[in-house]
Chain A
Amino acid sequence: MYSKEHKKYLKKIRINNFLIKFTQILIVLLFIFIWQFLADNELINTFISSSPKSIINTMISLYKDGTLFHHLWITFYEVLISFLIASIGGILIATILWRFKFLSKVIDPYLTILNSLPKVSLGPIIIIIAGAGTKSIIIMALFISIIITIINVQQAFISTDKNKIRLLQSFKAKPHQIFFKLILPSNYPNLINVCKVNIGLVFIGVIMGEFLVSKAGVGYLIMYGSQVFNLNLVMTGVILLAIMASLMYYLIVLLEKIYLKNIRN
């Protein structure tokens, strides 16, 4: 059993954690409450700033239309597909570049240029080539996330401890063995970080794509709302995005936790 001091110490940690969570929730509630209060007393222009109540009402009416989940699903689907392709494809390409140093050196300046190029400028070209639809949106999101994925993953692969590579070579390991026994497992934490960044980037790409061309999706809702000057709809879209983004982020964090648990068992 733990000593009295240790129990005290544990209790202190628990209370501290509780206080942090409590304050976090309090801030959100306070923010919503003040927003609503200001709107009710007409201290702010609700036509521009909307209000929590009207946002909820908009959500309910969207739900009654049967379109709420349709829009959410479209955006989620686009994000998921782009995320999977960007992450898996990026890691694959980085692996090829790690294996073939010559290719990696040849390709390096092109990657750098593509990385610093504002990808929105490619929007019109993508739309003309891929058509005004989901395909264009996914390609847009891919462009934004895959290049930085390749660069980051390759960098992580290259920085793997040289001594450990020598050790494997002293056992006469072949390149694919070095990759699967060392490079990949030693870089799992880095890969998870890359995924975390990717979720954000893919979201940017998808919403940007939906602004440019779309018939459905949360980005479409925001764009449509702003065109008909329905700021309630715009705000609703933003809130929906915030919820979606945080859910996806926590999904990755959950994966990370499962991974960490597995490695320790």
Chain B
Amino acid sequence: MDILKVKNLKKIYHTKTNEILAVDNFSLNLKQGEFVAIVGPSGCGKSTILSILCGLDKASEGEIKIDKNLKFGYMLQSDNLFDWRNIYKNCLLGLELENNLTKNNIEYVNKLLDTYGLKDFKKAYPNNLSGGMRQRTSLIRTLATKPDILFLDEPFSALDYQTRLAVSDDVYQIIKKEKKSAIMVTHDLSEAISMADRVIVLTNRPSKIKNIYEIKLTNKGTPIQNRKAKEFSYYYDKIWKDIDYHV
């Protein structure tokens, strides 16, 4: 079952002096529970697609079909935690905005915090937390409103390499455990291959779809385990050639 259908999406940015075609002819179907990664050269308009999908930006042309009852969660590159709220209050932000602070929802947030290792940090302030913990808090804040689809916009690029591996493992498991569907934009090829069920490769601006890979790994497990799968380098080479980096 496809829960999200995008057909021939097009986005043109207008400035005073010219217009820029950022995205052209982009189509995507997302299945329930599927994890899709979108990779492409930097500045190719990957993030634009996400902000259109979650309604922050308007498409110039194209069709987006989503079930009206589905909810989105959007996670950005920086964690955007509010310094003046403690971790617990930060996680409740989305629910507050929706006027949805019911007993059940608060319990759910508490459960998420407990399950994902932030139990003892509810009263702590973001400044006192490590990058990985902050990113986990940011994910819980997104999950708190019980979204059906998660949009992740380079969610780990602000972290150092070690933390990044650990947090992507965490986040991946949280998403799978909570049975969410997700679309992730990234420029890190190994991250995309190790996490996604499907990788969409975009061309340089204007972004068009260059290739789509179903990632089939033997012994598929967590992202860190997946990096050791024997097909990993095969996909890596393929995608690398697709993107055709000129250094």
Measured CB to CB, the residues of A under 8 A from B are 161, 163-164, 166-173, 177, 181-182, 185-186, 188, 263-264
Contact = CB atoms under 8 A, between A and B. Distances in A.
A170 B56 CA distance: 7
B145 A163 contact: no
Contacts of A181: 93, 96-97
A173 B97 contact: yes
A143 B83 CA distance: 35
Contact of A170 (B74, B77, B84): B74
Nearest to A182: B82
B94 interface: yes
Q: Summarize B's interface: helix, strand, loop or mixed.
A: loop
A185 B93 CA distance: 13
A262 B11 CA distance: 46
A49 B159 CA distance: 65
B125 A169 contact: no
A157 to B, nearest CB: 16
The 10 A-B pairs with the shortest beta carbon distances in the complex, nearest first, are A170-B74, A171-B97, A171-B94, A173-B97, A167-B80, A164-B80, A185-B84, A163-B80, A263-B84, A177-B97
A163 B78 CA distance: 8
Contact of A185 (B76, B82, B145): B82
Interface residues of B, number: 21
B28 interface: no
B145 A171 contact: yes
B120 interface: no
Interface string B72-89: 111011101011100000
Contact of A169 (B56, B73, B78): B56
Contacts of B78: 163
Q: Summarize A's interface: helix, strand, loop or mixed.
A: helix
Interface string B116-149: 0000000001000000000000000000010000
A49 B227 CA distance: 83
Contacts of A186: 82-84
A167 B96 CA distance: 13
Contacts of A171: 93-94, 97-98, 145
Interface string B31-65: 00000000000000000000100111000000000
B56 A166 contact: yes
Interface of B: 51, 54-56, 72-74, 76-78, 80, 82-84, 93-94, 96-98, 125, 145
Given A161-B80, A166-B56, A264 B97 contact: no
Contacts of B82: 164, 182, 185-186
A170 B54 contact: yes
Contacts of B125: 264
Nearest to A174: B97
Contacts of B80: 161, 163-164, 167
A73 to B, nearest CB: 37
B84 A166 contact: no
Nearest to A166: B56
Nearest to A185: B84
Contacts of B98: 171-172
A166 B84 CA distance: 18
9 contacts: A161-B80, A164-B80, A166-B74, A166-B76, A167-B74, A171-B93, A181-B93, A186-B83, A264-B125
Contact of A167 (B55, B72, B76): B76
A173 to B, nearest CB: 5
B233 to A, nearest CB: 35
B84 A172 contact: no
A186 B83 CA distance: 8
Given A170-B56, A264-B125, A163 B76 contact: yes
A263 B55 CA distance: 33
A68 to B, nearest CB: 43
Contacts of A185: 82, 84
Nearest to A263: B84
B1 to A, nearest CB: 25
A31 to B, nearest CB: 42
A263 B86 CA distance: 9
Contacts of A188: 84
A163 B56 CA distance: 12
Nearest to B94: A171
Given A181-B93, A186-B84, 5 more contacts: A163-B80, A168-B97, A170-B54, A170-B56, A171-B145
B145 to A, nearest CB: 7
